[in-house]
Amino acid sequence: MKRPKVTCGAIIRKKEKVLLIKRNTSPYKNYWSLPGGYVEKGEEVKRAIIREVKEETGLDFRPTFWKYWDEIIPQLKWHAVVLIFTGSADGRLNPDRKEVKEVRWFSRKTIEKLRLAFLHKEILKDYFHESKI
């Protein structure tokens, strides 16, 4: 396994729902995930999550850092340090169709039944536990 990648993810809430994207790229094509992606060389992480959310959803995200998560998935030879942000977003949903098949708001109960990419199910479970939603 190579050196860890630095990535970021967004937990965007509207009332009791969380925004997820359906991936249109590998790995995990056709799985739901948090909006987010790689932090580019020389890019501040907060700017990276704002950029990624805009690219993937069309929304303007107001991030607050929540916590980091180690994503180690040996079968994919995947190791990433994921910096997770929470917050709300404004604008109109307008996903980049190259990367995203669909964008939708989901309740906690529905999320528990979905196929989520990477370790996003565990991240959201932790978030729901801490935030009591």
Active site residue ranges: 102
Q: For the CA atoms of 23, 27, 33, 34, what is the dihedral angle to 10 degrees?
A: -100
- Tokens representing 50 are 């704002």
Report how far residue 119's alpha carbon sits from residue 4's, in angstroms, rounded to the nearest whole number. 15
- Tokens representing 124 are 């959201």
